[in-house]
Amino acid sequence: MEAKDMYGEEWEEAVPFWKKVDDILEGVNALRKHCDEYLPQFPAEHPDVYEDRVKAATFYNAYRDTLDSISGLMFRRPPTLGEDVPAKIEPDLENCDLQGTHWVVFSQAMFRERVHHGYCAVAVDAPSTPVENRAQEIALGRRPYWILYEAPAIVNFRFVPINQKRQLQMIVFKECASIPTGGMGAFMEWEERDLYRVWEIPVFYESADRI
């Protein structure tokens, strides 16, 4: 399957919206960079005059202030773990993504992304290498971890009826990875490439509503 076939209609329709809110969040520099969209040149305006007008344009980023305020208000009191959370996984939540992120900080980023782009996704993955016991799991770091995907990285998804309920059956995440292309040691050459992670529940579509 080619990369272009990975993208769903919902993603393509949302791209212009995401671009606009990203530009607004970045501020006046982004708006000046894309001045043809946000500050178009008048038909009879001289190029030098237009350039000066773009450079002099100002923008008060009330959107960023509002986003920060909403996020801060939601977490004005740090969330706590419920009594149903197993005690043995509590230490893992101090570093929930294996990148040193506390679960509260992770939750703040998740909430902010949900407000900014409209939605997001959290995938829980784990290394496939089996371990014999908890001690070995801790020593090798072989435990489940969280991955936050921003909305633009969720390029496709599909819901189907399963057990007479509408459930997520397929989702595609776009990731960017650095791939070595040549050289050695300090002279190693790298290339940024887009990768697609597909999570799918096998379903016989003819009888999906009866599964």
pLDDT at 209 over 60: no
Rounded distance between C-alpha atoms, residue 190 and residue 181, angstroms: 5
pLDDT at 114 over 60: yes
The residue with greater pLDDT, 172 or 5, is 172
Task: Read off the pLDDT of residues 37-83 as tens digits, 9 standing for 90 and up.
Answer: 999 999 999 999 999 999 999 999 999 999 999 999 999 998 999 99
Which amino acid is located at 25 in the chain? L
pLDDT at residue 2, rounded to an integer: 65
The least confident of 19-33, 90-104, 119-133, 178-192 is: 178-192
Residue with tokens 């982004």: 30
pLDDT at residue 164, rounded to an integer: 84
The residue with greater pLDDT, 204 or 19, is 19
Task: Read off the pLDDT of residues 127-177 as tens digits, 9 standing for 90 and up.
Answer: 877 777 777 777 777 888 999 999 999 999 999 888 888 999 999 999 988
pLDDT at 182 over 80: no
pLDDT band of residue 191 (cuts 50, 70, 90) is confident
The least confident of 35-39, 68-72, 92-96, 203-207 is: 203-207
Q: What is the DSSP string of 2-35?
A: -GGGG--HHHHHHHHHHHHHHHHHH-HHHHHHTH
pLDDT at residue 135, rounded to an integer: 77
pLDDT at residue 211, rounded to an integer: 36
Q: Rounded to whole angstroms, what are the CA distances from 154 to 55, 117, 139, 199?
A: 35, 11, 33, 11
pLDDT band of residue 207 (cuts 50, 70, 90) is very low
**Whole-structure pTM value:** 0.82
Asked if residue 14 lies in contact with residue 153, where contact means CB atoms within 8 angstroms, the answer is no
**Phi, psi (degrees; rounded to nearest 5) at 96:** -70, -25
pLDDT-above-70 percentage for the chain: 93
